[in-house]
Amino acid sequence: MNAEDSTENVPLGGGSIRLGQFLKFAGILSGGEAKEAVAEGLVTVNGEVDLRRGRQLVVGDVVGFDGSRFRVGA
């Protein structure tokens, strides 16, 4: 299984979404947990740690947390 196969697609219905909102929307973390995880550097965006909970994600971005990957879908 390659990394592409192990990435879960999370459809948004269009537009962009902030990182903290995405973590909550996808059911990965609660709002408070998302704030803490991002601040502690436990979340990656496109393979790089991002400490900005308000970072705008767009379709195709891949969010990583706790060994799992989630692609922002349309």
Nearest to residue 20, comparing CAs of 57, 74, 68?
Answer: 57
Distance CA 7, CA 55 (A): 20
Q: How confident is the model at residue 1, as a pLDDT?
A: 43
Cα–Cα distance, 54 to 52 (Å, whole number): 5
Q: pLDDT tier at 3 (50, 70, 90 boundaries)?
A: low
Determine how β-strand 7-11 pairs with β-strand 68-73.
Answer: parallel
For position 5, what pLDDT does the model report?
A: 61
6 has a pLDDT exceeding 90 = no
pLDDT per position as a tens digit, 8-67: 999 998 788 999 999 999 999 999 999 999 999 999 999 999 999 999 999 999 999 999
Q: What is the pLDDT of residue 15?
A: 81
Tokens of 1: 């299984």
